[in-house]
Amino acid sequence: MSINPLPFARLTVLAGVVILLTGFAMGIVDRDAGTPAAASAQSVGELGGLVYQVPEARALDPGNPVDAGILHGIPVARGALPAGQEWYGVFLTVQNPGRRARLAARSLVLVDVEGHRFGPEQPPGSNVYAYRLGRLGPGQVYPPAISPAAENLTAQGALLLFRIPRASQAAGPLELRIHPPAGHGQPQDLPVS
């Protein structure tokens, strides 16, 4: 007895179409790009042809084993902050949906509600979470899907590490100001808290 594979193939294609349409209806798939939709419209911005997203931003506690791993390589002298200050991590992903390589932002600062600006600290080269992006190829996402920064559920992005007063976070929302490379647009602020 022989089974005709054609009806089974049609059923498989039909099931795929139903799954895709369900994804569109639920907002899981972006209708324009055919890619997963952004987690939050407030934490996503397009600048210089690249899409920046902040999936997570929070205070980091060197005494917490998970955060200690993220803060790897921060010398003890820098790890012990003065009273009233804290480490604040902004985790960032960058996607190049275009067809040519693009330069990523190199100037990123954290801004509090009073306008105080905080530049990122540079973790040592041994820190696998640190944001270190220059050029992003067409269709690429940073950090790569198979990297500690992308795989860590408490990070989900490359680390921008800031030393800020606790009062800055308590006073209200913080924003990440992204300055594009020269000639690629105006700075853009992304809410992070």
- In the predicted structure, residue 56 carries a pLDDT above the cut 70: yes
- Distance of alpha carbon 76 from alpha carbon 57, whole angstroms: 23
Cis preceding-peptide flag for 143 (omega within 30 of 0): yes
pLDDT for the residue numbered 75? 67
Answer yes or no: are the C-beta atoms of 178 and 53 closer than 8 Å: no
| Interval 160-164 mean pLDDT | 94
Name 109's bridge partners.
177
- Predicted TM-score (pTM) of this structure: 0.75
- Distance of alpha carbon 85 from alpha carbon 65, whole angstroms: 20
pLDDT tens readout for residues 171-183: 999 999 999 887 7
What is the SS3 assignment for 22?
Answer: helix
69-to-61, 73, 126, 142, 148 alpha-carbon distances in Å:
10, 9, 11, 20, 10
Answer yes or no: are the C-beta atoms of 177 and 187 closer than 8 Å: yes
| Interval 91-108 mean pLDDT | 93
- Distance of alpha carbon 105 from alpha carbon 98, whole angstroms: 16
Instruction: Give 66 or 25, the one with higher predicted confidence.
Output: 66
User: Exposed, middle or buried, 73 (CB in 10 Å: 0-12/13-18/19+)?
Assistant: middle
Instruction: Give 17 or 177, the one with higher predicted confidence.
Output: 177
Helix, strand and coil in the chain, % to nearest 5: 25, 30, 45
Answer yes or no: are the C-beta atoms of 53 and 38 closer than 8 Å: yes
HSE-CB of 98 using CA atoms within 13 angstroms: 16
Position 109, amino acid: V
- Distance of alpha carbon 123 from alpha carbon 128, whole angstroms: 9
pLDDT band for 4, please (50, 70, 90 cuts).
Answer: low
CB atoms within 10 A of CB 60: 19
Answer yes or no: are the C-beta atoms of 101 and 113 closer than 8 Å: no
pLDDT tens readout for residues 69-99: 899 888 654 557 888 999 999 999 999 999 9
- The token duo for 20 is 């895709």
